[in-house]
């Protein structure tokens, strides 16, 4: 209990520090008021992520490492089969030579194709917009992996025994970025966002898209942001700036 | 002839029955003949529900809680698996599994396979820089 409070305090302190580095009124991490433990999440909140590719550094993998540590993924030794919740991608426009680097993960669609194709109902979207896999129901058929346009889902091929108690995961199920739902439910921010801020890049902004006063909502109102493959009309929770 | 046959049948069925019952009673009373699960409660105190409710219905409570947690984000503590583990993990092995583990000893006895630990961590954990430390 006290450890939890300390962590909350740490997050709030980190958010306050991050607030100094950005423009006034724009906080890097929205200090979300934690909902009471016994209340269900509602659709009043829509969690989202804004990634500023102009700040994201090529070669930096702090977010990937933090994700692996938080969720017990470990290091990616076999990239073809090991679970990858975030992939760092470098893009280059051939004509102009302009290069950007960005993290690509589950985009937490409002209309997720993975949920459409799931034959068992294991792939689902929570009321607050976070797309998850219920491993109790997942049969490991991997239709969702094929349906996802963002290569965001991974199949767990091997047994695991070193899970984080808050992030159960095991062989035979499909999984993907949970937006660190266990942290979000306690009023925290995803591990990748904290790691990016701690590394001094501040390229990731997490918050409630439905709250017009939140930092992320203000930011996407002010600057042009992009949904990757917007033509698919999936209404993404993750947006990119500068691509 | 028919009456004799019926009498013999009655004799066959009735005579051994009390003898067998006496034998079975002796067997049950004899200590050590029947294997029993070793339920080690290392932390004394009150569980979240009375003992008989927990013994009969813990799986229902856990399943109900798991769906509420995963789908609705309700993370109350009393019926959460992690809270069970943090209280019931053996102080020797730090786990609820393994020989004599709180969960495993009963489940082995009842021959009910536990697949919780395919995904869930059976040791109460605290996150450290090196990941989960039991």
What is the structure's pLDDT at B92?
87
Q: How confident is the model at residue B19 (pLDDT cuts 50, 70, 90)?
A: very low
Put simply, the answer to whether B72 touches A127 (Cβ < 8 Å) is yes
Give residue-wise pLDDT tens across range A173-192.
Answer: 999 999 999 999 999 999 99
What is the structure's pLDDT at A7?
57
pLDDT score of A20 more than 50:
no
What is the structure's pLDDT at A239?
97
Residues of B in contact with A135 (CB under 8 A): 119
Put simply, the answer to whether A185 touches B75 (Cβ < 8 Å) is yes
Nearest CA-CA distance, residue B47 and chain A, Å:
18
Mutate to test the interface with B, among A1, A6, A162, A168 (most CBs of B within 10 A): A168
pLDDT score of B12 more than 60:
no
Q: Which of A56-70, B41-55, B99-113 has the highest mean pLDDT?
A: A56-70
Residue of A nearest to B77 (CA): A37
For helices A191-198 and A2-21, angle between their N-to-C axes, nearest 10 degrees:
50
CA distance B34 to A140: 41
The helix/strand/coil state of B45 is coil
Higher pLDDT, A122 or B30: A122
Put simply, the answer to whether A39 touches B76 (Cβ < 8 Å) is no
Put simply, the answer to whether A162 touches B131 (Cβ < 8 Å) is yes
Q: Which residues, 6+ apart, have CB-to-CB distance to A112 below 8 Å?
A: A123, A125, A131, A234
Of B76, B77, B119, the CB nearest to A168: B119
Residue of B nearest to A128 (CA): B72
What is the structure's pLDDT at B30?
58
pTM: 0.78
CA distance A227 to A193: 19
Residues of A in contact with B71 (CB under 8 A): 124, 126, 134
| Torsion of the alpha carbons at A195, A197, A200 and A201, rounded to the nearest 10 | 90
CA distance A134 to A93: 39
Residues of A in contact with B124 (CB under 8 A): 165
Put simply, the answer to whether A132 touches B74 (Cβ < 8 Å) is no
Give residue-wise pLDDT tens across range A80-119.
Answer: 999 999 999 999 999 999 999 999 999 999 999 999 999 9
Residues of A in contact with B68 (CB under 8 A): 40
CA distances from A36 to A72, A219, B70 (A): 26, 28, 15
pLDDT score of A135 more than 60:
yes
Domains of chain A: residue spans and CATH? 2-241 (3.30.70.20)
Q: CB of A46 within 8 Å of any CB in chain B?
A: no
Of A3, A171, A182, the CB nearest to B118: A171
Nearest CA-CA distance, residue A82 and chain B, Å:
16
């Amino acid at each position: 209990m006290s450890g939890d409070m300390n962590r909350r305090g740490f997050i709030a302190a980190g958010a306050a520090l991050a607030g100094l580095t950005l423009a006034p009124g724009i906080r890097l991490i929205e200090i979300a008021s934690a909902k009471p433990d016994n209340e269900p999440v509602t659709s009043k909140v829509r969690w989202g992520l804004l990634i500023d590719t102009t700040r994201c550094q090529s070669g930096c993998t702090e977010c990937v490492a933090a994700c692996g540590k938080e969720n017990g993924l470990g290091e990616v030794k076999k990239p073809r089969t090991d679970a990858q919740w975030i992939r760092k991608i470098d893009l280059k426009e051939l004509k102009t030579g302009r290069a950007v680097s960005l993290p690509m993960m589950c985009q937490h669609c409002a209309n997720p194709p993975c949920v459409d194709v799931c034959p068992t109902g294991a792939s689902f979207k929570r009321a607050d917009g976070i797309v998850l896999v219920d491993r109790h129901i997942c049969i490991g058929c991997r239709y969702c992996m094929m349906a996802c346009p963002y290569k965001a889902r991974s199949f767990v091929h091997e047994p695991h025994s070193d899970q984080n108690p808050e992030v159960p995961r095991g062989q035979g199920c499909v999984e993907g970025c949970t937006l660190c739902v266990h942290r979000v439910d306690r009023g925290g921010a995803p591990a990748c966002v904290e790691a990016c801020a701690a590394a001094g890049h501040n390229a990731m902004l997490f918050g409630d898209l439905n709250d017009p006063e939140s930092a992320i909502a203000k930011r996407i109102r002010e600057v042009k942001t992009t949904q990757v493959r917007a033509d698919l009309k999936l209404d993404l929770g993750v947006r990119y700036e500068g691509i | 002839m028919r009456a004799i046959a019926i009498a013999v049948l009655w004799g066959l069925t009735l005579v051994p029955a009390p003898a067998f019952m006496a034998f079975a009673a002796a067997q049950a009373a004899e200590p050590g003949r029947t294997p029993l699960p070793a339920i080690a409660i290392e932390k004394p105190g009150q569980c979240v529900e009375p003992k008989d409710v927990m013994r009969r219905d813990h799986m229902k409570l856990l399943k109900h809680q798991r769906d509420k947690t995963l789908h609705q984000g309700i993370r109350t503590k009393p019926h959460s698996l992690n809270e069970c583990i943090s209280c019931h993990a053996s102080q020797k092995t730090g786990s609820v599994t393994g020989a004599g583990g709180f969960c495993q000893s009963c489940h082995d006895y009842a021959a009910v396979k536990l697949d919780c630990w395919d995904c869930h961590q059976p040791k109460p954990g605290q996150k450290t820089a090196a990941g989960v430390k039991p």
